[in-house]
Amino acid sequence: MKTTERVLNALQRVKELLSLISDWTKQPKEEDLLTKEFREKKLKMIEDLYKQLGELNDRYMFNHNSEFATKEYIVQYDELKKKIYDLEK
């Protein structure tokens, strides 16, 4: 192989790699309806879990002596945080 042929082959491979990279990194222009709806419902669930977490914290801070013990609070808190973590993955 001559040097010019090697250079031309290398340039062709570089062009192919660049086109593959650009195709791979492109975001889809339009999402399908199912994916969009799934993401919105997932965000709504996360938002609801954060509200539940806030309510749990308020309940513990202001009523913890009469309503429930610290151990129960920690168990519920850990369950909510685990659910949030799993949804945010």
User: For all residues of the chain together, what is the average pLDDT?
Assistant: 84
Domain that holds residue 31: 3-88
What's the confidence (pLDDT) of residue 54? 92
Buried b (16+ CB within 10 A) or exposed e, 25-56: eeeeeeeeeeeeeeeeeeeeeeeebeeebeeb
- 26 pLDDT exceeds 70? yes
Span 70-84, pLDDT tens digits: 888 889 999 999 999
* Structural domains counted in the chain: 1
